[in-house]
Structure 1
C-alpha cells in the first residue's frame, strides 16, 4: 500500500525520492523563502505518492552547498549516489553519502534523514 508524502518547501534543498525502480526524482516544488518580511505569504502543500520500496532523502544545505562550487552539480551528485546505493540498508546509505559528499569539508551543519517505505 502506498504512502502519501505532503510537504512544503521554503527554499531548502529539494527532497530526493528514489522510486523502487531506482529512478531518483528531485522534488523541486517550493514557495517563497521563510522570512519575517513575508508574513502574509501563503504556503502551498505538495503531495506525492510513495510506493513500497521508495526511499525519501531529506538533507540540509550544508551537505550540498560549498563556497565556489555549483549547488546544482552537488544535488546531481547526491541523486546519483541515491540511485546507485538506494537499496543499501539506510545506515549504510547515509554513511556512503556522508563520506562521498564531505569533500570539500562542509562549512555548515549537515543533517540527513532517510525514510524507506515498507
Structure 2
C-alpha cells in the first residue's frame, strides 16, 4: 500500500466494547480491515481454523471479501491458517480470486509456524 502513513485499521476482536468494527463486506465482517484515505487500497485480514476453512460459510465469506477488494486494484487479502492448511488455503484463494474477478489483489497466506533465528 503506497500511502501507509494515513492508514485506518479496524478489527473485530472479542471483548472490545465501543470500538469501531470493520465494515460488512457483503454479508460478512472481516477480522481486520485497513484502508488508506482517500480509499485507493484496502487490506482485509481473516483467520480460519483447519475445519472452518472447509465450510461453505468460509468460502462465501472469502468470495465476498475478494469481490470487495476487486474494486481497489493492488489491495491485499491476508488469510491466517494453521500450517497444515497453508497449501489448501493458498489454492482456495487462487480459485476464488479467479471466480471473483479480483486478479489484481495480492493474496497472502500465513500460518502459525514461527521462524527461530
Q: TM-score over 0.5 for the alignment?
A: no
The structure whose RCO (Cα within 8 Å, separation 6+) is larger is 1
Normalized per residue, which structure has more helix? Answer: 2
TM-score by length of 1: 0.31
Structure number, greater radius of gyration: 1
